[in-house]
Amino acid sequence: MRTCVGCRKRELAGELLRVVAVDGRLVVDERRRLPGRGAWLHPGPDCLAKAERKRAFPRALRAPGALDAAGLHEHAAFAADNGSGMFSGPRETRKQVDPS
Ligand SMILES: [Zn+2]
């Protein structure tokens, strides 16, 4: 079980994405193999926004300074209709099945 750094709910690790900091930038650790500390997060814009608001990433990752979350916002798992994260329309929300 892992705790989402956004909503703080405990969840099976398979339900969460692992986020790590690389050179001060937050990236999704797709294969869960990158070294170092990881922060766990539900996919979707809501928990990402919560985590940022709480500055949960620097804390979870023991980063000395601010971390650039731009890479997360660009990641498909966290994609939102920019502006309102409340509305989830009939967008493509398929999980990535491409093994490459
Ligand atoms: Zn969450």
CATH code assigned at 42: 3.30.1230.10
pTM: 0.77
> How many domains are contained in the chain?
1
Residue 88 lies in a domain: no
Tokens 């193999």 label which residue?
Answer: 33
Residue 85 lies in a domain: no
- What is the whole-number distance in angstroms between the Cα of residue 80 and the centre of ligand 1? 15
Q: Which range marks the domain in which residue 61 is found?
A: 2-78
Mean pLDDT, the chain, integer: 86
- What is the whole-number distance in angstroms between the Cα of residue 82 and the centre of ligand 1? 19
- What is the whole-number distance in angstroms between the Cα of residue 47 and the centre of ligand 1? 5
Give pLDDT tens digits for 78-89. 986 554 444 444
C-alpha distances in angstroms, 33 versus 30, 42, 86, 87? 8, 18, 32, 33
Residue 31 lies in a domain: yes
